[in-house]
Amino acid sequence: MNIILFLTFGLSLQDWKASGLLDRELELYKRLSEKFDLNISIVTYGDISDLDFEYRFKNLQIIPIFKHFRKYNGKFILLLQSLVFPFYIKKISGKNFDIIKTNQLMGCWSAIILKFITRKKLIIRTGYDLYTFSKYDKKSILKRLSYLILTIISLFISNLYTVSSNSDYSLLKNKILVNKKKLVVRKNWVDTESLQISNISNKQVLAVGRLEKQKDFETLIKLFNKLPYSLDIVGDGSLKNYLKSISNTNITFIDKLDHQKLLETYSNYKIYISFSDYEGNSKTLLEAMGSKCLVLASNIKNNSEIIEDGINGYLINKNQPSKIIEKLNYIYENENICTEITENAYKYIVDNHSLNGYVLNEYNDYKHLLSN
SS3 at position 93: helix
Backbone φ, ψ for residue 313 (5° rounding): 165, -170
Query: Mind listing the pLDDT tens digit for each residue in 203-222?
Result: 789 999 999 999 999 999 99
Any idea what DSSP says for residue 57? S
Which residues, including other chains, have CB under 8 Å from residue 15's CB and lie 6 or more apart? Answer: 46
In this model, does residue 198 exceed pLDDT 70? no
In this model, does residue 184 exceed pLDDT 90? yes
Q: Which of the pair, 80 or 200, is modelled with greater confidence?
A: 80
Query: Percent of the chain, pLDDT > 70?
Result: 98
Q: What is the pLDDT at residue 203?
A: 79
In this model, does residue 171 exceed pLDDT 80? yes
The domains located in the chain, with CATH, are 2-189+354-371 (3.40.50.2000), 192-352 (3.40.50.2000)
The dihedral formed by the CA atoms of 125, 130, 132 and 133, expressed in degrees to the nearest 10: 120
Backbone φ, ψ for residue 158 (5° rounding): -65, 155
What is the per-residue DSSP string for 110-153?
Answer: HHHHHHHHH--EEEEE-SS-HHHHHHHTT--HHHHHHHHHHHHH
Confidence tier at 93 by pLDDT (50, 70, 90): confident
Confidence tier at 147 by pLDDT (50, 70, 90): very high
Which residues, including other chains, have CB under 8 Å from residue 67's CB and lie 6 or more apart? Answer: 47, 48, 50, 51
Backbone φ, ψ for residue 157 (5° rounding): -90, -35
Of 69, 141, 100, which is closest to residue 370 (Cα–Cα)?
100
Lowest mean pLDDT among 87-96, 287-296, 317-326: 87-96
Triad 237, 283, 8: Cα angle to 5°:
65
Q: What's the chain's Rg over C-alpha atoms?
A: 21
Q: What is the pLDDT at residue 130?
A: 87
Query: Mind listing the pLDDT tens digit for each residue in 279-305?
Result: 988 999 999 999 999 999 999 989 999
Residue pair 88/50 in contact (Cβ under 8 Å)? The answer is no
Confidence tier at 70 by pLDDT (50, 70, 90): confident
